Chain A
Amino acid sequence: MNGTAGSMPQTEGKMTRRTIPLSLIVGGVIVGLHLLAGLLTLFWTPYDPTAMVGGRLAGPSLAHWAGTDRLGRDLFTQILIGARIAIEVGSGAVAIGAAIGVTLGILAAFATRTLDDVFAAAFDILIAFPTLLVAMLIVAASQTASLFTAVLAIGIAGSAIIARLTRILAKRVLSMDYIVAARVAGSSWPSIVVVHVLPNIWPTLIVNLALQFGLAAMAESSLSYLGLGAPPPNASWGRLLQEAQGTVYTAPFGAIAPGIALVTLVIGVNLLADGLRAFADPTRRGRR
C-alpha cells in the first residue's frame, strides 16, 4: 500500500520494528500512575476524604500537597479518588460504546444500500446529540445522578461515533478485491468479519477507542461540573473544579490542580493511543 515503506532499506525496517515508540512508553507510564493512584484509593488515602483535616482553603503545603477545599478537606486525597472515578467512567463508557458501536457499524457496512442509508442517517442523528445532552437527558430520566447513569450515558453517546467510524472502515475493507476472492471461495459473512474486517480495522479502531476514553473522562468531568455526575462523596475532578470556581479569588490552586490531573490522564491515554498505532500499524512506521 505504502510506496515509501516498501522502498526502505531492509536494515532500517528491522530497526524500526524493534523500537517501542516513545509515546507508548510515556503514555503507559502516565496512565499507569493514574491507575495506581486510583487503585490505591480502594485501600488507603492520605486523609479521610470527608474529614475536615486542615484550615479552610489552605494553599499547597507538605501536609496537604494540593491544599484544602472550602470545608478544610484534603484536596490531594480527593484528586486521587477522582483518578479512580475518571478511569472507571472512561473504561466503562468505552466498553459500552464499543460493544454497541462496533456491532452497529459492521451491520451497517454489510447492509443493503437503503438500509445502510438508514443506519448512516441514524448515526448522524445520534452524533447530533452531543454526549452531554444525552447524558443530561438520561440523568433527568433516571432522576438520580449516579456513577452508573454517567457511564451509561457517556457510553451510549459515544457509540454513535464508533459506529460511524466502524462503518466507514469496514466498507473500505469490504470493497477490496480480496473480499471478493473470499466470497468466491465460499467464506461466510461472519468469517469475513472475523478474518478480514476486524483485523484490518482494529489499529484505527483501537486508537479511536483510546481517544474515546479521554473524551469520556472529559465528559464525566463536564457532567460533574454541571452537577449531573456522580454525587458526593464521589470526588469527581469536575465537581472539584466546580466547587473551586467559586473560591478562585482566594484559592486559585484548587481550580488548577484537578484540571492538571484530568489533562495529564487524557494526554497519557492519547500518547498511548499514538504509540499503539505506530506499534500496530507497520505501514505508518516509516512515516514518523
Chain B
Amino acid sequence: MRRSAILLVSVLLASAVLFVLLRLLPGDPANALVSVGADAEQIEAARRQVGSNLPLLQQFLHFLANIAVFDFGVSFVSGAPVLGEIGGRLMVTLPLTLAAFAGSILIAVPIGILAAVRQRTWYGALISIVSQLGIAVPAFWIGILLVTLFAVNLQLFPSGGFPDDGWTAPAESIQALILPVLTITLVMSASLIRYVRSATEDILSSDYLRTARALGATLSGALVRHGIRNGAVPVISILGIELASTLLGAVVIERVFALPGLGSMLLLGIEQRDYPNVQGVLVVSTLLVLIVGFLADVLQRLVDPRLRERVTGGAS
C-alpha cells in the first residue's frame, strides 16, 4: 500500500521534472507548426493550438491530464499520433531489452555463483578477469566489433536495420535482433556477474551458512536453502536498475544497428525539435522505469520478510 503511494508520488514528481525539462528546450513548440516567415497572427494561432500561450501552471495541468489518459498528441513532423508511433517502436525496444535481460540472467547467475564458490580455481579467476573486462567495454563498441566480425567478415547476420513491416516475418525480425541482443547481453552479464559473485561471497562468509554447514548441510544444499533468499535481495534491486537503464539506454545500440526503437525516436525527436514525440517517449519510458522499480521492490519484499515492516526507532 505504502509502495503504491510512493509509486504514485514518483509518477507525479517525474511528470513535474519532465515538464520542467521540456520547457527548458529552446524555442516555442509552436514554431514547429508554422513555416519560416509566418506573421504574428499565424504564430499566435499556432501557440493557441499547442497551448503554449496559457499560464505555466495551466500548461502543467493540461500536461498531467493528457498523461493520465495517455494522450500525447500528434507529431509535429509526421502528423501521426505519438502513442501509435511509440507502440510501434516498443515492438522493437521491448523484445530487444527483455531478450537481453533474460539472456544475461541465465548467463550471470550460474556463472556469478560459480565464480564465488570456486574463486580460488583458475576458472574462478578467469571469470573475475573477464567480467572486470566486460564492465570496462562500452556497449556500442562491442556492437561495432560484432558487426565487423559477424556482418562484415562472416556475413552471418544483417549489419543493421529492422524489417519495415515489423513482425509480419518473424524470422527476419529475429535475425535483425540477434546481434543487438547479443551486444546488450554481453555487457549486462558482465556487470551482473560481479553483483551475483559479491552477493554469493557475502553469503559464503556469513555465520548462518557456517552454522548450516556445521549442522551437516552440503555447501550446495546450504546455498540453495539459505543462500538464495539472502543473496536475491541485492541482486533484484540491481536487476531492476539494469532493466530500467537498458530500456532507455538502448538508444546507442539502436544507433549502432539502425533499429527503429524508442531510443532512436527520442534522438530523432530532439534533432527535429519534435516536442510531442520527445515528451511521449520520455513519459512512457519514465513510467516503464518506475513500474520496473516498483516490481523489483515488491519482489524484494516477497523474498525477504524483514523488508516488509520497517524497523522503527534508530536513525530513521
A associates with B: yes
> A residues engaging B (CB < 8 A)?
2-4, 109-110, 113, 116-118, 121-122, 124-125, 127-130, 132-133, 136-137, 140-141, 143, 171, 174-175, 179, 214, 218, 221-222, 225-226, 238, 241, 244-245, 248-249, 252, 255-256, 259, 262-263, 266-267, 270-271, 287
State whether B136 touches A241 (Cβ < 8 A).
no
Q: With CB as the reference atom, state the residue of chain A lying closest to B135.
A: A270
State whether A122 touches B13 (Cβ < 8 A).
yes
The residue from A136, A140, A175, A263 contacting B136, defined by CB atoms under 8 A apart = A263
Q: With CB as the reference atom, state the residue of chain A lying closest to B132.
A: A270
Question: Min CB distance, A166 to chain B, in Å?
Answer: 14
Residues of B within 8 A of A218 (CB): 138
- Given A124-B10, A124-B290, A128-B289, 19 new contacts (CB under 8 A): A121-B13, A127-B245, A130-B249, A132-B251, A132-B252, A133-B248, A133-B285, A136-B270, A179-B315, A221-B138, A222-B138, A222-B140, A238-B140, A248-B147, A259-B137, A263-B137, A263-B141, A270-B132, A271-B132
Question: Min CB distance, A256 to chain B, in Å?
Answer: 7
State whether A225 touches B252 (Cβ < 8 A).
yes
State whether B136 touches A267 (Cβ < 8 A).
yes
Interchain Cβ contacts within 8 Å, total number: 132
State whether A129 touches B248 (Cβ < 8 A).
yes
Q: With CB as the reference atom, state the residue of chain B lying closest to A288.
A: B119
Q: With CB as the reference atom, state the residue of chain B lying closest to A136.
A: B270
Q: With CB as the reference atom, state the residue of chain A lying closest to B264.
A: A226
Question: Min CB distance, B282 to chain A, in Å?
Answer: 8
Question: Min CB distance, B315 to chain A, in Å?
Answer: 3
Q: With CB as the reference atom, state the residue of chain A lying closest to B139.
A: A222
Question: Given the complex of chains A and B, what is the CA–CA distance between A62 and B280 in angstroms?
Answer: 52
Q: With CB as the reference atom, state the residue of chain B lying closest to A172.
A: B315
Q: Is B212 an interface residue (CB 8 A)?
A: no
Residues of A within 8 A of B184 (CB): none
Question: Given the complex of chains A and B, what is the CA–CA distance between A259 and B256 in angstroms?
Answer: 14
Residue interface mask B13-55, A partner, CB < 8 A = 1: 1100100010011100000000000000000000000000000
Given known contacts A175-B314, A218-B138, A248-B148, A125 and B10 CB-to-CB distance under 8 angstroms = yes
Residue interface mask B267-301, A partner, CB < 8 A = 1: 10010000000000010011001100100000000
State whether A130 touches B137 (Cβ < 8 A).
no
Question: Min CB distance, A34 to chain B, in Å?
Answer: 13
The residue from A4, A124, A225, A244 contacting B293, defined by CB atoms under 8 A apart = A124
Q: Is B133 an interface residue (CB 8 A)?
A: yes
State whether A117 touches B138 (Cβ < 8 A).
no
State whether B13 touches A174 (Cβ < 8 A).
no
Question: Given the complex of chains A and B, what is the CA–CA distance between A249 and B249 in angstroms?
Answer: 27
State whether B286 touches A259 (Cβ < 8 A).
no
Question: Min CB distance, B153 to chain A, in Å?
Answer: 9
Question: Given the complex of chains A and B, what is the CA–CA distance between A141 and B267 in angstroms?
Answer: 13
